[in-house]
Structure 1
């Protein structure tokens, strides 16, 4: 008899194929109910700016920095590693190398008073610990975790430009939830008033797909097949700005957007770009519902884990951040900031709690709530057969094999799992590693 080929294989305990689809988790009550209306979301976002240091108000940002203030900013970002690091050739990074990195931070070039400027990203780019493309790894063969990579930054992202590197190739820049070094070539300089008039345009679209692309443009490479991740807000062109064709293409089957490009002088030039109407686009933000959280989360199912946005992907907390951005919920970038500092109803799980007590806390959660342990964020899905399930972007888990020993299984992707899977080699489970859950709402 020939072997029957199965389309579904998983080493994850308690995972059934039907759990890999969002409709499976739509059986709970009030999934389509609006969690917060537009005006409440605006209040929520403002509250996060006030209460949460990692989120800043770029429109009302400090206009200049003293020499010492700017040195302090650089020292927050460009921290020398405490552990041995290796380059891509598995060679140890030495003190001479680090001296060159620090030198390019240009501390000697800091003036007594240093004024800011504003910028906007014109393509997907990155933020780095130091102004360099060089990669650094804790182990010589650990290609998946470049320790100089801080975060990916998407197109049409507003920035405050604080300082320039010595080689004039990098900016020290602040986005709404991150401060680090960003490549100068990916940024267009723009006046503050023009930037926020553009960003606050009344009519806009939001990307709600895993990836969306602008249409191919044979006449302007900066507008052609630009990759747009989930949660990007892009202003629409006014009807009187649209001509008979856009770069030789009829616009009828497309959304016509105003997109930032970078001139030869480094300044912004807004141009019309096309995004096909069959792309995953929302006119305006999606309603903030638990259904939309779960549906958008499952769009990333199977996507490879990408530390700080490596591999053209995302990590555990940017996965959460991008989903919520599509509904205009602005979250901090990192796990500790999301779980411990963000505004919202917090469900604390103390270290002293038993597994049973922890399960009682989880029983109170609604689908779509963020669940956190040190260094890792997850999205809660629901309870099935006594097990609590999550969808998350995670590295792997431990499972008992024959003989009673624990074996580590790599995952390195967005996947569904129960919280009872093994977290560490000592037998500790994910549920035992939790410190709490955060529902991103105006606090009760």
Structure 2
């Protein structure tokens, strides 16, 4: 199907408008005269002190690149893909759901159950090593000199790693960084897949209330290396508070509330705003009230020791974990995350592909690691490499459990939500589709958000880069987040082990 076949409603979504100053829009043929008058008036304004000229702005249609047909034509509503006869059926039996929740709590609170760092000096320094032989650029798109890096190296005081052994908790939403700075390090802005938003100092966002183990302090004391339940990196000291055993005992409860709405203000009983709650945020439950949960909220005292405040979360915004993993409930959470901006490594408190999956399944008490390769190993993995594209898609539709199957490819992951007229559908957060122009330069058709597509979004684009720009070609396997005993292909167990033996951890 070509873009010209779009229905009128879909085509309207693809028409962009840009406000232009009136002098650029002429009703007459003498465009040059109007443009010359505009330049003269602009020059006179500068000569008189650069007072801006206020002109009426009007809307004019501007040519735009071809739309992604999947996004324009497919309902961006996960409920549209539910089977009414099974939408309320629990995909995971109750007793197994409880076991998964126990595993979730074990992983979530793990930083408070260690006395030594989990990560070695080589591991925590690995991201820095990748920058040594790269040309890196700042937020102004200009190159950074090596002294900028070396100054940060000196501040890390890594020769004394680990110099700290303390438990802590995030008291606000924060970030894990490769080096102790909020400043970015981009690669070449002129190359596809580099530049914005790929800040190579960003590791992951960390939501408020996350348990931490602090293993190292910077030379000036303003930054710490924090081990979270899912990753390790530098975090500002202002974003954490130190905890002790009595705090842990009170906070680490069996009853946890998870947000099912995104961007929810978390405030204490004194109506003091603490931080913005996100889907994926977890809080201990003190009491269950009619229509609400009373929760514990971490904060810091004047000496940066953690204290506990209390607040309320309505049942419309939060659920007691684990929420029943029904297609209907999962679809509701998907809709909460749909059309959210893409965020590399959680940049600007947005989500990338793997953090979207992780946060999506948190309310259900299903623990997922932070990186896509590790997420692919969490359930029953069925390899799909080597299959012809049509057979690969048929295999997915035949074997995948809608709303409970991850589709993985190197560098990306998403959730299978069903099929539409023989086409498998995926919910995922993606930056864009690889393209290549007539002279061989690679580029990206930007999507930049969380969407529902087929496995071949953008296949209609005349400049799509094939085969690399085709998700279906890149898909290497699918992971059923269900008990292994429910899978029918016994040979897949051996294939899964072979695949795992050939993989190395990555983002």
Tell me the TM-score normalized by structure 1: 0.82
Q: Specify the SS of the correspondent of 2:13.
A: coil
Tell me how far 1:310 sits from its aligned partner: 1.6
Shift of 1:326: 1.2
SS of the residue corresponding to residue 69 of structure 2 reads coil
The 10-residue stretch of structure 1 (149-158 or 193-202) with the greater mean CA deviation from structure 2 = 193-202
Distance 2:366 2:197 in 1: 29
Query: SS state of the match for residue 311, structure 1?
Result: helix
1:133 aligns with 2:182: yes
**2:376 pairs with 1:323:** no
Change (3 A) 1:29 1:180: farther
- Say whether the 8 Å CA contact 1:119–1:160 is kept in structure 2: yes
Q: What do you get for the CA RMSD once the two structures are aligned?
A: 3.3
Q: Residue 124 in 1 paired to residue 182 in 2? A: no
Question: Which of 68, 75, 80 lines up with 2:125 in the alignment?
Answer: 75
Q: Which has the higher helix share?
A: 2
Secondary structure of 1:96 counterpart = helix
Instruction: State whether residues 209 and 281 of structure 2, in contact with CA within 8 Å, keep that contact through their aligned partners in structure 1.
Output: yes
Q: Is the 8 A contact 2:112 2:211 kept in 1?
A: no
Aligned to 1:295, what secondary structure does the other structure show? helix
Question: Runs of 5+ in structure 2 lacking a partner?
Answer: 1-7, 15-66, 486-507
Q: Aligned to 1:210, which of 243, 262, 268?
A: 262
Aligned length: 412
Cα deviation, residue 109, structure 1: 3.1
Aligned-pair CA distance for 1:115: 5.7
Match in the other structure for 1:180: 233
The question of whether the paired residues in 1 share the 8 Å contact of 2:430 and 2:447 is answered with: yes
C-alpha deviation, 1:302, in angstroms: 1.3
Helix, strand or coil for the counterpart of 1:288? coil
- Give the secondary-structure state (helix, strand or coil) at the position aligned to 2:129: coil
Instruction: Label 1:93 to 1:25 Cα distance change in 2 as closer, same or farther (>3 A).
Output: same
1:151 equivalent in structure 2: 204
Aligned partner of residue 176 in structure 1, secondary structure: coil
Distance 1:78 1:192, change over 3 A: farther
Secondary structure of the equivalent of 2:238?
A: helix
Q: 1:313 Cα deviation (Å)?
A: 1.2
Given the alignment of the two structures, is residue 194 of structure 1 paired with residue 247 of structure 2, yes or no? yes
1:48/1:349 Cα in 2 relative to 1: closer, same or farther (>3 Å)?
A: farther
Note the alpha carbon deviations across 1:82-108, whole angstroms, 9 max, x for none.
432111122323332222222222123
Matches within 5 A, 1:100-111: 100-110=151-161
TM-score normalised to the size of structure 2? Answer: 0.73
Query: What is the DSSP-based 3-state SS (H/G/I as helix, E as strand, rest coil) of the residue aligned with 1:36?
Result: coil
- Partner Cα distance (1:254, 1:154) in 2: 21
Aligned to 1:246: none
Q: Distance in 2 between matches of 1:294 and 1:76?
A: 38
8 A contact 2:174–2:235 mirrored in 1: yes
Partner of 1:387: 423
Alignment partner, residue 258 of structure 1: 296
The correspondence for 1:95, drawn from 132, 146, 151, is 146
Distance 1:23 1:269, change over 3 A: same
Residues in 2 aligned to 1:418 and 1:206: alpha-carbon distance in whole angstroms = 30
Residue 208 of structure 1 deviates from its aligned partner by: 0.6
Could you say which structure has the larger radius of gyration?
2
Counterpart check, 1:425 vs 2:478: no
Do the aligned residues in 2 keep the contact of 1:87 with 1:140 (CA within 8 Å)? no
Equivalent-residue separation in structure 2 for 1:93 and 1:379 (angstroms): 38
- Compute the displacement of 1:29 (Å): 5.4
CA distance in 1, matches of 2:164, 2:388: 53
Taking structure 1 as reference, are residues 286 and 22 closer, same or farther at Cα in structure 2, changes over 3 Å only?
A: same
CA deviation profile, 1:278-329 (whole Å, cap 9, x unmatched): 7521133311223322221121211111111123311111111100011111
Paired with 2:433 and 2:219, the residues of 1 have a C-alpha distance of: 43
Query: Do the aligned partners of 2:384 and 2:477 also contact (CA within 8 Å) in 1?
Result: yes
Alignment partner, residue 433 of structure 2:
397
2:208 is paired with a residue of what secondary structure? coil
Matched, 1:284 2:337: no
Structure 2 Cα separation of the partners of residues 150 and 138 of structure 1? 16
Residue 45 and residue 310 in structure 1: after superposition, are their counterparts in 2 closer, same or farther (change >3 A)? same
1:226 Cα shift? 2.5
Task: Establish whether residue 229 from structure 1 lines up as the match of residue 286 from structure 2.
Answer: no
Displacement of 1:254: 5.3
- Report what 1:247 is aligned to: none
Separation (CA, whole Å) in 2 of partners of 1:166 and 1:208: 40
Task: Quickly say closer, same or farther: Cα 1:5–1:74, change in 2 above 3 A.
Answer: closer
355 and 120 in structure 1: CA distance in 2 versus 1, 3 angstrom threshold: same
Q: CA deviation at 1:193?
A: 4.8
Match of 2:392 in 1: 358
Report how far residue 38 of structure 1 moved: 5.5
In the TM superposition, residue 379 of structure 1 has moved relative to its aligned partner by 1.0
1:434 equivalenced with 2:475 (yes/no): yes
Structure 2 residue aligned with 1:26, among 82, 97, 104?
82
Q: Is the 8 A contact 2:112 2:213 kept in 1?
A: no
Partner of 2:219: 166
Deviations 1:8-48 (A, max 9, x none): 63622345656222221112753322233455245446779
Q: Does the residue aligned with 1:237 lie in a helix, a strand or coil?
A: strand
CA contact (8 A) 1:8 1:17 kept: no
